[in-house]
Every structure is written in C-alpha cells, then in structure tokens.
Homo-oligomer: A and B are copies of this chain.
Amino acid sequence: MTARPPLQPGATLGIVGGGQLGRMIALAAAPYGLKVHIFAPDADSPAFDVSSERTVAAYDDVAALARFAASVDVVTYEFENIPAEAAEALAAKAPLHPNAAALATTQDRLTEKRFINDLGIETAPFRAVDTPEDLTRALAEIGRPAVLKTRRFGYDGKGQRMIRAEGDADAAAILADFNGAPCILEGFVPFEAEVSVVAARGADGAFAAYDPCANEHRDHILAVTRVPAPGIAPQTEAAAIGIARRIAEALDYVGVLAVEMFLVPQADGPARVVVNEIAPRVHNSGHWTIEGATASQFDQHVRAVCGWPLGDPSRIGGMAVAMHNLIGDDVEAWATILARPGAHLHLYGKGEARPGRKMGHVTELLPKT
C-alpha cells in the first residue's frame, strides 16, 4: 500500500487474533477514541468482549479476511503465524502493519535466522533439517546439546525437542516425531540471562525502545519479567537496543516488536548479545509497560499503526517493575493477588485454566533501589 495520512479518532482498527494480546491492544485503542474490529475463529475469543465489531471466521478464509479488511481503516495482528495468502488478502484491502515482509521473515525460524545473520547480528548456530541425513550432519557440525524445532508454527516450546547425549535416539526416529515438517537444528548458547527488547517504530521512522527486561522461563513458557534487567551492563543494554533498531529498520517495520536475546558472559568485557527470535507484535515480556511505562507497548502499537507519533517509553518515576505470568491454575490465586497492595491483576477472560495456558499476569512497581 502507498503511504496514507494518519488515522482520525473514530476510525476502526482491525485486529487479527482474539486472544489476550488482541484484547489488550483493543483496551489501549479505546482511550484514543478508536473502534476495534476483531477477526478470530473462536466465538469465545477474549478480545471480543472489548471490541465493537467481531468476525468469527478461520484464518484461511480469504473471503472473510478481505471483507474484514475492507471494513476497517488499518489492520494489525496479535500473532505471527498468519499464512502468506491471508496477509495478501488483508493487505489488498487495507494498510497492514506490521507489513507482510515482517510476517514472512519471522514466521519461519530458518528465514528469520538468516535475515538476522545477514544484518551482522549473531544467532545460535543453526542448520536446516529436512531429512535424517541433514540431522546427522547438523549434529556433527553443531554438537550437542542442540534443539530440533519445526521451522514454522512453534511457540511456548511446542514443536521442539532437545537432543542431549550421543545416542539419544537415531536421527530417523527423532525426525519421525516431526511428521515431515521442515525443521531447523539450533546449537546450544551458554547464556547467563535471557533478555528481550520491546520497541516501537513509527510510520515516520521514529524508534522508541523500552529498557531491556530480563525473562525467566518455566517449561518453555515465560514466567517472570523484571526491568531493569538485574546486573546488565550499560554497554550491553545499548547493544541490545541497537540490535532491535537495526532489525526494525531492515524490515521497514511499523508497530511494536520484541527481540528475544541471550546474554553470553565474556571473560574480558560486557556480555555478548545473541538473538534468539523476533516477535513481530506486542509481547508477553512487554506487559509490565501497562503500569510501568508512560506509554505502554499497546499504546505504542496503536500509535504506530495509526500513523501517530510514538509515546514516551520511559519507566514511570524510574521505578523497577516485576511481571509474573499466571499460568494454568496459578490463576486460582486471584483473590489473594487482589488483596495485595500495589499488585496490578490482569485476567484475560479465558474460561478453562488448562495447564500451560496463559490466564493472566500480575505487575508490581517496586521502589527505586
């Protein structure tokens, strides 16, 4: 699409995806006087509860996508696994932010890692794996432990397998579990911390990053985010933000993105930054910004996709912030959390608290140390 003038209040923001991220984007759009139209396949989608218009249809229903896009002023999305044909159908009818290139680059782990390396940015060592022979060769070259992942549609540890010792299983048996899906083998990175940079890029090319945050995972699912990242050196922070900026600029990105990174300790200086993956969307590790920053990641995303100036990403009063996810039956503690002074409870309006399901999160601002 050609460049368009900024949206006016009263315009309609279309969001593909009806989960908690779409819900929180919709909640951020409302104070700007925007209407929101959610496109999602599940009639019980949490984001429907806070939107003015709803389309229930499958993500590969190209006709429904086209009707949806034609009815809104701009389209964005809450997840990167939008098929290329769907992205085309959307972009033909409305501005799509972030753009289709960002989707294509980030929804395939192989394409993504090559793109990052081409920018001169380090990733884990990796090899494409389509056959048992590929896997045997890749293991020989990269070493163990290593992780075999599907190139597409993986999240929260789904679609991946750690390969540890020699003789863990033979290559053909391992690959059989992946049902012929194209895969990638990723080498081990001896990291001391996982951080992410959540940042926004505006339609005018302006760039605004939040302070890098430290992330702790449990069972491959984000459990805790802390900002500022404990013990991170200023040079490492600057390097991490610089990497996010180069990625955003190379994609001609408009909206919020998150870049997950490993910090690898160095004997003779600040930690080395190795990129793990890019999320072309608002991100769980940015939820702390709702209360912790002047403009939240959801505000920034709305501002960016509407063609408006970005807001201020600085932390409120310079305070430290901690965000804990409520996974599965963690959510049963809601009443206790409600009674805790200063705890900000966020529940996503999901029905059943299945194991591993993100049901909500809690944010606490901590006095400046």
Contact = CB atoms under 8 A, between A and B. Distances in A.
A50 B32 contact: no
A317 to B, nearest CB: 3
A349 B10 contact: yes
Interface residues of A, number: 43
Nearest to A32: B347
A49 B52 CA distance: 4
Interface in A6-40: 6, 9-10, 23, 26-27, 30-36
Interface stretch (A146-154, A232-240, A261-269, A336-344): A336-344
Contacts of A351: 10
Contacts of A27: 27, 30-31, 50
A335 interface: yes
Interface in A322-369: 331, 334-335, 338-339, 341-342, 344-349, 351, 360, 365
Copies of this subunit: 2
Contacts of A316: 316-317, 365
25 contacts: A9-B347, A23-B30, A26-B50, A27-B27, A27-B50, A30-B50, A31-B345, A31-B346, A32-B347, A33-B334, A33-B360, A35-B49, A49-B51, A49-B52, A50-B50, A50-B52, A294-B342, A294-B365, A303-B338, A308-B338, A309-B338, A309-B339, A316-B317, A317-B317, A317-B319
Shortest beta-carbon contacts, A-B, top 8? A33-B347, A317-B317, A49-B52, A309-B339, A31-B346, A33-B349, A9-B347, A50-B50
Interface of A: 6, 9-10, 23, 26-27, 30-36, 48-52, 294, 303, 308-309, 311-312, 316-317, 319, 331, 334-335, 338-339, 341-342, 344-349, 351, 360, 365
